[in-house]
Amino acid sequence: MQNQILKLKNEKKAIIIAHYYQDPKIQDIADYVGDSLGMAVFAKKTDAPIAVVCGVKFMAETIKVMNPHKKILLPDPDAGCSLADSCTPAIFNYFKSKYPGAFVMTYVNSSLEIKALSDVIVTSANAVKIAQQMPKDQKIIFGPDQHLGRYVSKQAGRELILFPGNCFVHTSFSAKAMYEIKKQHPEAALIAHPECEDVILSQADFVGSTGQMLCFTQESEYKTFIVMTEAGIMHQMKKNSPNKEFIMGPDLSGCSCNECPHMKLNTLEKIHACLFAETPEVNIAPDLAEKALVPINRMMEMT
């Protein structure tokens, strides 16, 4: 199946852009594997007419808005994100209405409708940097992930008004079991994604986007890492540092199986089918695309 996809991809001059949470078999046939920001930047740079986005809907939509003339395919149209879906325009508008005049800083894990209601988009890779650039007296709303928002607020030294959303994958890590693993491996570095709760982040030796976590494992002196994010990232970590040890962070049920079911909806079979038929394609109403592009472009300028 991997060979058939590669053949079809070459025939159609298409590219595959994958997120680190994808199945290793998908990561291995991708032209680019990265975090949300990296995927968007890569898509913008390439001149391939067709891109298969192996990630979730908000990633494919962001890439489409930034590349309106490219055909953007999403192998499974149901690959959503429960964090993004939990923040509906009605709820977000109500939240916004309580803080008139506030600047709206929104995580890329959100729908295009929410992006269109925002002033700037951020990813886990650039959120701190962008928050630091805001005028000191500016009131700022941050949504929809409260844990990333709390982390950004502390790092940037800025008060943020937090929308109360969260990612169930990252909030399913058990702090109690984490302390146990840390005790068993005092030599290990604990690395965490900022969607984790503060009780985890406060114990971390490094916090960053998936791409930044991967870089840290490659560049740091540590030989053992306790990894607090989705399990798919372990593939690149092990591949890039074969002599280092990676321990998956423990979740609440103790099974260490933190997988994002939305990300895992993509399969090799679905990628082949979507490349072959060139569907499902991501299409966005032009007026929505125009509104959502404004805060996305602001993010690119501020990054």
By a kind-dependent CB cut-off of 5 to 8 A, residue 262 interacts, out of ligand SF4, ligand 13P, none, with ligand SF4
Is 56 a binding residue for ligand SF4 by CB under 6 A? The answer is yes
- The helices-and-strands tally (H runs, E runs) of the chain is 15, 12
Is 230 a binding residue for ligand SF4 by CB under 6 A? The answer is yes
Q: Which of 16, 18, 22, 35 binds ligand 13P (CB under 6 A)?
A: 35
Is 81 a binding residue for ligand SF4 by CB under 6 A? The answer is yes
250 is written with which tokens? 């423990």
User: How near is the Cβ of 286 to ligand SF4 at its closest, in Å?
Assistant: 26
d(CA 235, CA 245): 12
User: How near is the Cβ of 198 to ligand SF4 at its closest, in Å?
Assistant: 17
Q: What is the DSSP letter of 165?
A: B
Q: Three-state SS for 194?
A: coil
Is 111 a binding residue for ligand 13P by CB under 6 A? The answer is no
User: How near is the Cβ of 232 to ligand 13P at its closest, in Å?
Assistant: 10
Could you give the dihedral angle defined by the CA atoms of residues 136, 138, 141 and 145, in that order, rounded to the nearest 10 degrees?
-20
User: How near is the Cβ of 133 to ligand 13P at its closest, in Å?
Assistant: 19
Are 197 and 176 spatial neighbours (Cβ–Cβ below 8 Å)?
no
Is 109 a binding residue for ligand 13P by CB under 6 A? The answer is yes
d(CA 177, CA 248): 11
246 is written with which tokens? 């990676």
By a kind-dependent CB cut-off of 5 to 8 A, residue 124 interacts, out of ligand SF4, ligand 13P, none, with ligand 13P
Task: Pick the closer one to ligand SF4 by CB: 80 or 220.
Answer: 80
Is 76 a binding residue for ligand SF4 by CB under 6 A? The answer is no
Cα diameter, the chain: 56
Q: Which of 52, 178, 260, 282 binds ligand SF4 (CB under 6 A)?
A: 260
Residue 35, C-beta contacts closer than 8 angstroms, at least 6 positions apart = 19, 20, 123, 124, 125, 209, 210, 211, 212
Contact set for ligand 13P, span 153-182 (CB under 6 A): 167
d(CA 195, CA 188): 21
Binding mask of the shown chain, residues 115 to 154, with x at each position contacting ligand 13P by CB under 6 A: --------xx------------------------------
Residue 137, C-beta contacts closer than 8 angstroms, at least 6 positions apart = none
Residue count at the site for ligand SF4 (CB under 6 A)? 12
Instruction: List phi, psi (to 5°) of 151.
Output: -65, -45
Contact set for ligand 13P, span 46-85 (CB under 6 A): none
Could you list the residues that contact ligand SF4 (CB under 6 A)?
A: 56, 81-83, 109, 167, 169, 195, 230, 260, 262-263
